[in-house]
Structure formats: C-alpha cells, structure tokens
C-alpha cells in the first residue's frame, strides 16, 4: 500500500539524496550493516544519499519508535523478527526525521554529526545472519535456454516446471557481501569420452543474475502459509550472484542436482531494500501458460519492476563492458510464490532465510543472466572492447550487478553486488 513515504515530491535535508540517478533517495531507506573505517563491530544503518544514518545513535537518543533495543547488534535479524507493523512504523519515523522540513535532527549539529557517517569512510558488512539459503529456478526464459542447450527446444522445460517453483537448498555459510573476492573452486569434471573424471580447477566459472528475497518473520514447523501471508513475511530484497561452476555441475548433478558447483560462494548486495520501499513498483507475473494450483494462484501483483545491469571488468584493467540488461519482472514465479511453496510441506522458515530467484533472463540475448546463455555454452564467445573474448570467467575478472526501480525523479537502488575471481588453491603447495 502506498503512503506519504513514497511521494515523489518528498525531499531530504541530506543534499546528496536528491540526485535523480542516485540509489538512495528518501523514498528508499534501505538497511545495512557498517563499521566506521572498518573498525569495531558492525552497526545497523540506513542509506540516505551518500551517507549512512546510524540507527544505534538514534535509538540511544530516544528517536526511534522501536519496542526494545534492536540496533545494538551487528545484524538485522532481531529487527526483522518484529514484523510488518514495526517495520512500517520505523520507516515512517525515519522518513520524517530525514524530511527537509523537519528540524529535529537537521538542526541538532552534535547529534547529526554522530548519527551520519559518509559511505566513503565506512566498510559494509553482511547485513543479516543467513539462517538458510534456497535457490530457485523461477525464470522461464532461463529454464528454456538451458533446456534447449542440453536437451532440445521441444523438450526444454521439465514436465513440472509450469506447475511448481523448483528449488534446492544451498549453503548459507558461503553467502558473502559485495566486494568479497571469490576463489575459483576445485572439483571433479569429466568431458566427452574421457574414461574417468579428473580433479582440478573449474574451467567454466559463471555468474548467475538473481534477485534475493529476505524472510523477515518465520512460521511454525508444520504450518504452511498462504500466498498473502508469505508476502507479508518478506522483509526485503537484495541483488544476488550465485556463482556457478558449470563443468563441475555437469558431472555431479545427476541424480540429486548441484552440490559443490553451487556452494563455494553466493554474493549479495550490502543494502536490503524493503518490500515497502518497492511497493510502487509491483507488477503482475507473466501470463500463465497453464493454471497454477489454487495455493499458488496470484492474489495481486507480486512481482517487481527492477532493472538489472551486469558489467564485466576483465582482468588486467581492461575496459569494463555491459554484458546483460534484464529485469525482475521476467520472473515467472514471484518471491511470495516461492516462499509459499517452500512452506507447503510444513518447512519452518526463520528471520534471515534467503531465497534466490534463480537466474533471471529476458526474452533476447542482451537480457540473458549468465555467461552460459550469453556465450551459448561457450560456442559464441563475447567480444570485449580490447578485442579479447570471454565464454566464461577468467582469474582477475570482476563481475558487478547493479539494480534499481525507476521512480518519478528518483531511483530505488540496491548498490552494487560485485566480486573478483581469484585463482584456485594450489593443492601442491
């Protein structure tokens, strides 16, 4: 539901929040964890322009309508567990404190100086303890592309795909914040007519352009939730890159699916953009090709219109190249449908559970969300500005995802989701 915090005319006394191409206007107010210059334990803050508002300082000053001490901790989990009414009340309070016509914080120089930290002087950390991580396969075009490559276009989608949000349980312990380097994984691979597998570095390292949903409130073990209940449980969203070792996956995934090929690193953006901030950008899911079962049927627009850009900066300092431009509206299954299905068996979800959308690919080559698709399995390499090529990622390459919802004179942005590939470990040493 839209309210005064979404108004395009709303302005902040933080001047940098008025940049029409900036990611953090007053209409956004995403949450993250930061430390000043990398010193001390992380603190919880809200991004506003090029500044971070320290919620611990505001809490100590008695300016927050929170029911208990929630921000003297390095993660968002205690706050997320409070539920939608508390999230809503705090958003309104922060919007008011940061509004251009409110002098309470604006004119208190001492408090303002303690509460505001320049982003350039802060280190960003993982914003929440990841309770669990589930990766879905919710983009129809991606599923069709992969199925066409490995089977044929006539049988590209598995029989269950149009009926069920397919997913698998990933590894929460290897979810890392943007800026963390990613080590090329080792594993078993087997190609063509080779008599036996070999062990060594991944040779087909890939990215996956995804949208991560963050669960705020959980459910009891054995109690499924409805689609509307699931929607209310979602605190917010992050950009997500589920790094993938395609050659390792090809050998290991039969019959139980990916294992080591998908658990070595999953990168997320440092700012959690709330569901409420994204409310003006809700859109319907794509038209259904077959009717979903009643428990999964849409009760309203539950997808989002968020633009996604992927940039590859090649090793050696070569010119960065935009390699994909996609959008979350291409997801066939919304995050609420993914969460509803996840709990249908009685699975218990907790504050901090992370749901990856799966690779998001649009209808044409320029909007595909992985190098597997962009190079069509390595058969059609991308040409870089310096004349080099890429079928898959090389050591030293940096992959950056940016995302935003375009408002009237402002953007609701996520910051960057970035990582640089490091060489694999040399087991001989």
The C-alpha atoms of residue 51 and residue 38 are separated, in whole angstroms, by 16
Phi-psi region of 378 (alpha: psi -120 to 50; beta: other; left: phi over 0): left
Q: Note the Cα 130 to chain centre separation in Å.
A: 13
The C-alpha atoms of residue 211 and residue 414 are separated, in whole angstroms, by 11
CA angle at 247 for the pair 246 and 248, rounded to the nearest 5°: 95
The C-alpha atoms of residue 302 and residue 291 are separated, in whole angstroms, by 17
Q: Please list, in sequence order, all residues whose beta carbon lies within 8 angstroms of the beta carbon of residue 105, skipping any fewer than 6 positions away.
A: 58, 63, 97, 98, 111, 112, 115
Catalytic residue, candidates 142, 341, 342, 410: 142
CA angle at 284 for the pair 401 and 223, rounded to the nearest 5°: 90
Using CA atoms, how far residue 18 sits from 8, 15, 40, 150, 290, in Å, is 11, 6, 31, 48, 45
The C-alpha atoms of residue 237 and residue 268 are separated, in whole angstroms, by 10
DSSP collapsed to 3 states, 11-51: CECCHHHHCCCCCCCCCCCCEEEEEECCEEEEEEEEEECCE
**Would you tell me how many other CB atoms lie within 10 Å of the CB of residue 368?**
27
Q: Which two tokens stand for residue 258?
A: 């990916």
Compute the Cα dihedral for 273, 279, 281, 283 and give only its sign: positive
Using CA atoms, how far residue 254 sits from 148, 199, 248, 251, in Å, is 18, 18, 11, 7
Q: What is the DSSP string of 297-362?
A: S-SS--EE--EEEEEEE-TTTPPPEEEEEEEGGGBSS-HHHHHHHHHTT-----TT-EEE------
The C-alpha atoms of residue 391 and residue 323 are separated, in whole angstroms, by 12
142 catalytic per annotation: yes
- CA-based nearest residue to 355, from 178, 211, 147: 211
Compute the Cα dihedral for 9, 12, 13, 15 and give only its sign: negative
Catalytic residues: 142
């Amino acid at each position: 539901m839209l309210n005064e915090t979404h108004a395009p005319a709303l302005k902040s006394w933080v001047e940098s929040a008025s940049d029409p191409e900036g990611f953090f206007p007053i209409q956004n107010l995403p949450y993250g964890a930061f430390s000043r210059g990398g010193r001390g334990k992380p603190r919880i803050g809200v991004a506003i322009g090029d500044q971070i508002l320290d919620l611990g300082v505001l809490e100590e000053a008695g300016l927050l309508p929170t029911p208990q001490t929630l921000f003297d901790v390095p993660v968002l989990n205690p706050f997320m567990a409070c539920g939608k009414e508390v999230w809503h009340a705090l958003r309104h309070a922060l919007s008011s404190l940061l509004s251009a016509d409110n002098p309470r914080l604006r004119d208190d120089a001492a408090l303002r100086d303690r509460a505001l930290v320049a982003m350039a002087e802060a280190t960003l950390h993982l914003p929440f303890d990841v309770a669990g991580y589930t990766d879905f396969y919710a983009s129809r075009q991606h599923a069709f592309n992969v199925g066409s490559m490995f089977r044929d276009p006539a049988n590209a989608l598995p029989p269950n795909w149009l009926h069920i949000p397919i997913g698998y349980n990933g590894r929460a312990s290897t979810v890392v914040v943007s800026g963390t380097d990613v080590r090329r994984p080792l594993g078993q691979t087997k190609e063509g007519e080779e008599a036996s597998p070999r062990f060594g570095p991944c040779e087909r390292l890939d990215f996956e352009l995804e949208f991560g949903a963050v669960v705020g409130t959980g459910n009891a073990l054995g109690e499924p939730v409805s689609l509307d209940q699931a929607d209310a449980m979602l605190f917010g969203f992050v950009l997500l890159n589920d790094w993938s070792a395609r050659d390792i996956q090809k050998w290991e995934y039969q019959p139980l699916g990916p294992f080591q090929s998908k658990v070595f690193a999953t990168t997320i953006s440092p700012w959690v953009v709330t569901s409420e901030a994204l409310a003006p950008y809700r859109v319907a899911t794509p038209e259904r090709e077959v009717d979903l079962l009643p428990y999964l049927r849409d009760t309203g627009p539950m997808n989002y219109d968020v633009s996604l850009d992927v940039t590859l900066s090649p090793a050696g300092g070569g010119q960065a190249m935009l390699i994909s431009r996609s959008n979350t509206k291409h997801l066939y299954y919304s995050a609420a449908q993914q969460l509803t299905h996840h709990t249908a068996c009685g699975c218990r979800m907790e504050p901090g559970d992370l749901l990856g959308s799966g690779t998001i690919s649009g209808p044409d080559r320029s909007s595909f969300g992985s190098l597997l698709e962009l190079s069509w399995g390595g058969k059609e390499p991308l040409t870089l500005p310096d004349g080099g090529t890429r079928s898959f990622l090389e050591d030293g390459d940096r992959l950056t995802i940016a995302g935003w919802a375009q408002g009237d004179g402002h953007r609701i942005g996520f910051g960057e989701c970035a990582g640089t590939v490091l060489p694999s470990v040399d087991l001989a040493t």
